[in-house]
Chains A and B, each alone.
Chain A
Amino acid sequence: MKTAVIVFPGSNRDRDMFHALELITGTRPQSVWHTESTLPDVDLVVVPGGFSYGDYLRSGAIAARSPILKDLVAKADSGVSVLGVCNGFQILTEAGLLPGALMRNADLHFVCKEVMMETVNTATRFSSKFVKGQVWRCPVAHHDGNYFADENTLKQIEDNGQVVFRYANGTNPNGSINDIAGIMNAKGNVLGMMPHPENLVEPLQGGLDGRILFESILNAA
């Protein structure tokens, strides 16, 4: 499986993502700088975590207007898999590739800890290797992860099965509506999530739970 990671000024989880992708796919991802106009021909494009543009204006707002985003939208429209993690999720919502918005954590604190995730939809290219209802560990590190969508949008994404992951066992760290931790677009090829599966992919990191997500994508490619 061929992959690419988009790098913005202020991205800081891009190397973690390179590492996880290389470990699991066996192929080194391509790095794409945000000023480039075309993405390479790959199966998966990842928008990594970090603090693009210092979170100025709104988290992800300025990165979402970068030159490379035009091609990312085109690739997403053509069905290429796109994964946004943390700041990447914020960028995808700001770019309109995913519904809703990520707001300041309800308790105003930056959270850096491990949460429990429940995979509520396994019929997706991002989650097919999970068992439905599987609860797994995943680290989070963010200040603006409080997912919000208006009533109609929320009903739509819930009814369509677009909610893929929820925070489980009362570990919602940010006040996200309906405990939403990760959602996909209606077409099912774009996923955004606040937690960092790339940070739990080998024993040195304390577990392998995050691998299941990447193995699902690999399986679907």
Chain B
Amino acid sequence: MKARVIVTLKNGVLDPQGKAIEGALGGLGFGDVGSVRQGKVFDVELTGSDKAAAQAELEQMCEKLLANTVIENYAIEIA
């Protein structure tokens, strides 16, 4: 089973890297970029086949390691 975990910065948390990317896009001539926020994607392959169990396990993975919930949100997609 394949899963994708998307980790993004919470609203209100400054993202200097996103800001730099935003500036670089502007420099390339993309004039309609309002803002950019940088995040992370984890593709996780799981050996089990129970989707509900996988969802619960992935949530634990996010809480315990993949995301720092002080500053980040996470979203889980199971294929």
Residues of A within 8 A of B (CB): 57-58, 61-62, 65, 93-94, 99-101, 103-108, 146, 148-150, 175
Contacts and interface: CB of A to CB of B under 8 A. Distances in A.
14 contacts: A57-B65, A61-B68, A94-B68, A99-B70, A101-B70, A104-B17, A105-B16, A106-B14, A107-B16, A148-B13, A148-B14, A148-B71, A150-B12, A175-B14
Contacts of A148: 13-14, 70-71
Contact of B68 (A58, A105, A149, A150): A58
Interface of B: 12-14, 16-17, 20, 64-66, 68, 70-71
Contacts of A100: 70
B16 to A, nearest CB: 5
Contacts of A105: 16
A72 B66 CA distance: 22
Nearest to A62: B65
B70 to A, nearest CB: 4
Contact of B16 (A57, A65, A94, A104): A104
Given A61-B65, A65-B65, A101 B71 contact: yes
Contacts of A57: 65-66
B13 A103 contact: yes
B70 A108 contact: no
Contact of B64 (A65, A107, A149): A65
B16 A106 contact: yes
A150 B12 CA distance: 9
Contacts of A61: 65, 68
Contacts of B16: 103-108, 146, 175
B35 to A, nearest CB: 16
A107 B14 CA distance: 11
Contacts of B64: 65
Given A61-B65, A175-B14, A108 B20 contact: yes
Contacts of B17: 104, 108
A101 B70 CA distance: 7
B50 to A, nearest CB: 25
Contacts of A99: 70
Contacts of B68: 58, 61, 94, 101
A108 B38 CA distance: 14
A62 B65 CA distance: 8
A105 B25 CA distance: 21
A101 B69 CA distance: 10
B65 to A, nearest CB: 6
A106 B19 CA distance: 10
